[in-house]
Structure 1
Amino acid sequence: MTPPLIRLVGVTRRYGSGASELMALKGLDLQVEAGEFVAIMGPSGSGKSTAMNILGCLDSPTSGQYLFMGAHVEALSRDQRARLRRRYLGFVFQGFNLLARTSALENVELPLLYRGDAPAARRAAATRALLSVGLGGWERHTPAELSGGQQQRVAIARAIVTEPAVVLADEPTGNLDTTRSHEIMGLLLALNRDHGITVLMVTHEPDMAAYARRMVRFVDGRMAADEVNPHPTLSAPVQAEPAEAP
């Protein structure tokens, strides 16, 4: 029997000690199958971002088990977790996290550079990734020359250029207006639906969470609800933006 893609068992995360101790997670159990689109919701301080950091191998649990494809991530060394991130995980953040003086193409190439891919292979893969998010022709533009929605598309291209199994999106529409937010959600939905990429998304916006087929709610470091969304929002495909005239 194939194990779930992701499984958290009794995961806790404690910060500090004594009077300053904070229990961000208090025995979290979570299971995610390959190909799911899961929205993680909850108020500030509920533990959702802490859980996301653990799932992304950016942090480690204080106790409990984290299994990825059946392997115990909590037992891996820092270097082994880094290799897991590079091979299987892609990240999209609220703040885009693009290098300001670097072109869109070079920003997307970064994960492949860290992986040690050859320059020609990096450029070809980054070009394909930008084309897949509707930014063909924008390869040489820097973040300052792009709109917020375009910058987030570059960030998504960077997340998928390694062909990850999972995209972890932390408030991916938090810095965008309503129209751009729905465009980005349509893109994430297409990646999940058409390419089989598992998407785990933290959001506080119900209309963005409505794109997911499953909604998990956190309260005070624990899972308060885990519900199937019977009527997820279905978005039209994202249209490519025309390149600027030379």
Structure 2
Amino acid sequence: MNDHSRSDQAQSERPLIELEGITKVFGTGPAAFQALKGVDMTIERGQFVAIMGPSGSGKSTTMNILGCLDVPTAGIFRFRGVEVQALNRDQRSLLRRRYLGFVFQGFNLLSRTTALENVELPLLYRGEKKSLRREAAMHALDQVGLAPWASHTPSELSGGQQQRVAIARALVSGPNVLLADEPTGNLDSERSVEIMELLGKLNDDGITIIMVTHEEEMASFAKTIVHFRDGLVDRTEAGARRMEDTR
């Protein structure tokens, strides 16, 4: 086995994500606020993790760090064995584009463009050829069951369909991890269950999913539920999908 193969094997044997003693302080002096106080968390490949906690518990700050949108004040954040806190801004941006997909509560779709064009956007920014963009975007829409609606604009789609387009946009670049921030927050209960079932299917297909939610019913779709309180992990429990796996 050559050195490169050993390196790949060692990387694959490590957890996908490791947080060790992560702290985050906003502001300085008397106005400083410590949002995270030493978070330890490990996420394996293929996990579906729901992060819960009251407002101000640190869950959103943790999600921003996991998404390489912010950096910790102290501690170690490893992604695929690489210490992310040691990367510069451009390197973090590259990691984000190559490995991460994002889904938000507000859909964030361009109102005057079609579903297909919305899904294409990440590849357009990457400079991919039009034919390759179209093929990848149609495949992503097909993954979420919306290929027949490719030519529709967001105003012609339901809220659940719009969130499916947003998920397809997150999938189009082939991420290892899907980060979902309150993905059902703007949906009714029936549409929420549809989106959670879709995320479960994507997880079954091998995508690691990390989701912030305040809804216990939605969190139950995950394999692991991590509860935050006062800037720390308070407790971790098995979700319904993990319990199904062990039956």
Compared with structure 1, are the counterparts of its residues 231 and 74 closer, same or farther at alpha carbon in structure 2 (3 Å cutoff)? Answer: closer
Counterparts of 2:241 and 2:135, CA distance in 1? 38
SS in 2 for 1:49: helix
1:90 paired to 2:95: no
Query: 1:42 matched to which residue of 2?
Result: 53
Q: Is the 8 A contact 1:39 1:212 kept in 2?
A: yes
1:224 aligns with 2:240: no
Q: Aligned runs of 1:19-168 on 2, under 5 Å?
A: 19-168=30-179
What count of residue pairs does the alignment treat as equivalent? 233
Deviations 1:107-154 (A, max 9, x none): 101111122211110010001110110111111111111111010000
Unaligned runs of 5+ in 1: 235-246
1:178 is aligned to 2:189: yes
Provide, for residues 16-47 of structure 1, a one-character-per-residue CA deviation record: whole Å limited to 9, x for no partner. 11222111111111100000001100001111
Work out the CA distance in 2 between the residues paired with 1:157 and 1:138.
12
The residue identity in structure 2 corresponding to 1:117 is E
Q: Secondary structure at the match of 1:216?
A: strand
Q: Give the whole-Å Cα distance in 2 for the aligned partners of 1:115 and 1:85.
A: 12
Contact kept, 8 Å, 1:38 with 1:200, in 2: the verdict is yes
Specify the SS of the correspondent of 1:137.
helix
Alignment of structure 1 residues 208-219 onto 2, 5 Å: 208-219=218-229
The structure that is helix-richer by fraction is 2
User: Is 2:209 the partner of 1:207?
Assistant: no
Rate the CA distance shift 1:233–1:115 in 2: closer, same or farther, 3 A.
farther
- Specify the code of the residue in structure 2 equivalent to 1:118: K
Q: Which structure 1 residue ranges, 4+ long, deviate > 4 Å from structure 2?
A: 230-234
Identity over aligned residues, as a percent? 63
**Other-structure match for 1:239:** none
Q: What residue identity is the alignment partner of 1:132?
A: Q
Q: Which moved more, 1:19-28 or 1:38-47?
A: 19-28
Contact preservation (8 Å) 2:22, 2:76: yes
- Code of the residue aligned with 2:222 in structure 1: it is A
TM-score w.r.t. the length of structure 2 is 0.92
Distance of 1:233 and 1:82 partners within structure 2: 36
Aligned equivalents of 2:225, 2:92: Cα separation in 1: 27
Unaligned runs of 5+ residues in structure 2 are 1-9
Scaled by the length of structure 1, the TM-score of the pair is 0.92
Aligned to 1:10: 21
Counterpart of 2:139, as a letter, is: R
Instruction: Give, in angstroms, the shift of residue 229 of structure 1.
Output: 2.6
CA RMSD of aligned residues (A): 1.3
Distance in 1 between residues matched to 2:152 and 2:129, nearest whole Å: 22
Distance 1:230 1:183, change over 3 A: closer
Deviations 1:220-245 (A, max 9, x none): 110000122366598xxxxxxxxxxx
- 8 Å contact from structure 1 (residues 210, 232) kept in 2: no
Whole-angstrom CA distance in 2 between matches of 1:233 and 1:134: 27
Q: Deviations over 1:60-106 (max 9, x none)?
A: 11111110000011011111111111110000000111111111111
> What is the SS of the residue equivalent to 2:131?
helix
